[in-house]
Amino acid sequence: MSYRTALSEVLTGTVGPVAEATAVQGRFPRGAVTALGGAGLLGLTVSTEFGGGGRGLAEAVDVVARTARVCPATAAVLRSHYAAVAVVEAHGGPWLRTEIAAGRHLASLALAESEEEGAAAEVQLLAPRSVATHSGGVVALRGRKHQVLAAGEADTYVWSSRPLAAPDGLTLWAVPAHAPDLFVPARPAATGPRGSATSTVFADPVLVPAEAMLGTDGAGLDLVLRTVLPWLLELRAAADTFREPTLDPGSTRRRADSLAAS
């Protein structure tokens, strides 16, 4: 079965019937996420080596655009998931990639450190205030992340911090949602599409193993510029326009470069 056929079945059978309730009641579309996982759509962009669909940004954009026509909240969750998975695909471990490919794992970005939106928000992704300290094989992460989609619902957050020891840049981490002292308010912030569980996530501190680092210390800036922002900008455009997007990777790369220079 093609991913488009699988998506059509999930949208018709699961997402569509609860879309109005999701928007009106602000309830996270857990059933939709579970169905998308079961249909192989959460693992769409994971390598076939780990059981995923082996697809790329163009297919993720297609899924988000089609889903946005039916349920904006589910589409918003998917865009954060796919952007986070792009980082995990580059530097995540085999277990995490296999879990995502199997549809059992929802990922989300935890990068923003202000309530700003648009270009201003994208610029501040490049210089996190969150800190990381290392002791033995454990890293303590301290900070707060705003506008986190699927907050309290995702299984893993791609989290940014200042480097442990590198003189500049930033460092990315795969933070499990069950990590002790990772705190999400009981009442999500009133941002993002209703039902997307968009909220602030607090770490004060959260302890993760040193192996949770995605890439090398300080190299996360390049990952954000070359991977996260291009994916996020295209996926956001797909969700916002509700129409077939024209994918232009060159335009997003140029925008990412301009952000780095600002």
Shared domain for 10 and 99, answered yes or no, is yes
Determine which of 53-57, 60-64, 77-81, 176-180 has the lowest per-residue pLDDT on average.
176-180
Do 25 and 76 belong together in one domain?
yes
> What pLDDT, in 10s, does the model give residues 175-216?
999 998 899 886 655 577 899 999 999 998 999 999 999 999
Residues 143 and 165 in one domain: yes
The verdict on 156 and 232 lying in the same domain is no
What pLDDT is recorded for position 251? 45
Total domains in the fold of the chain: 2
Instruction: Indicate whether 171 and 41 sit together in one domain.
Output: no
What's the CATH code of the domain at 145? 2.40.110.10
Least Cα distance to 102 among 179, 47, 175 occurs for 47
Say if residue 125's pLDDT is above 60: yes
Q: 175 lies in which domain range? A: 119-218
H or E stretch at 176: strand 171-176
Tokens representing residue 148 in the block: 């986190």
Q: Tell me, what amino acid is at 162?
A: R
Q: Give yes or no: residues 16 and 51 share one domain.
A: yes
- CATH number of the domain encompassing residue 54: 1.10.540.10
> What is the β-pairing status of strands 107-110 and 171-176?
unpaired
At 122, the pLDDT band (50, 70, 90 cuts) reads: low
What's residue 224's pLDDT? 95
- Per-residue pLDDT averaged across 214-242, rounded? 92
Task: Check whether residue 17 and residue 75 sit in a common domain.
Answer: yes
Question: Distances in Å between the alpha carbon of 39 and those of 1, 160, 241?
Answer: 10, 30, 25
Q: Flag whether the pTM goes above 0.85.
A: yes
Among residues 158, 159, 162, the alpha carbon closest in space to that of 130 is found at 162
More reliable by pLDDT, 236 or 185 = 236
- Considering the chain, what percentage of its residues have pLDDT values greater than 90? 77
Rounded (5°) CA angle 64-69-70: 100
Q: Is 110 within a domain?
A: no
Question: Reduced to 3 states, what is the DSSP secondary structure of residue 120?
Answer: helix
DSSP secondary structure of 192-227: SSTTS--EEEEEEEEEEEGGGEESSTTBHHHHIIII
Residues 96, 174 contacting (CB under 8 angstroms): yes
Higher pLDDT, 42 or 257: 42
Mean pLDDT score across all residues of the chain = 89
Q: Are residues 36 and 49 in the same domain?
A: yes
Q: Indicate if 47 and 81 belong to the same structural domain.
A: yes
Judge whether 129 lies within some domain: yes
Tell me: do 157 and 66 sit in the same domain: no
The Cα 19–Cα 126 span in angstroms is 34
Three-class DSSP category at 5: helix
- In a shared domain, residues 88 and 131: no
- What pLDDT is recorded for position 120? 53
Euclidean distance between CA atoms 115 and 161, whole angstroms: 17
- Between residues 168 and 244, the one the model is more confident about: 168
Question: What is the H or E stretch that residue 77 is in?
Answer: helix 72-91
DSSP H or E run through 142: strand 138-148
Amino acid at 17: P
Same structural domain for residues 143 and 68?
Answer: no
**Range 65-88 average pLDDT:** 97
Query: Whole-angstrom Cα distance, residue 132 to residue 145?
Result: 14
Q: Residue 113: inside a domain, yes or no?
A: no
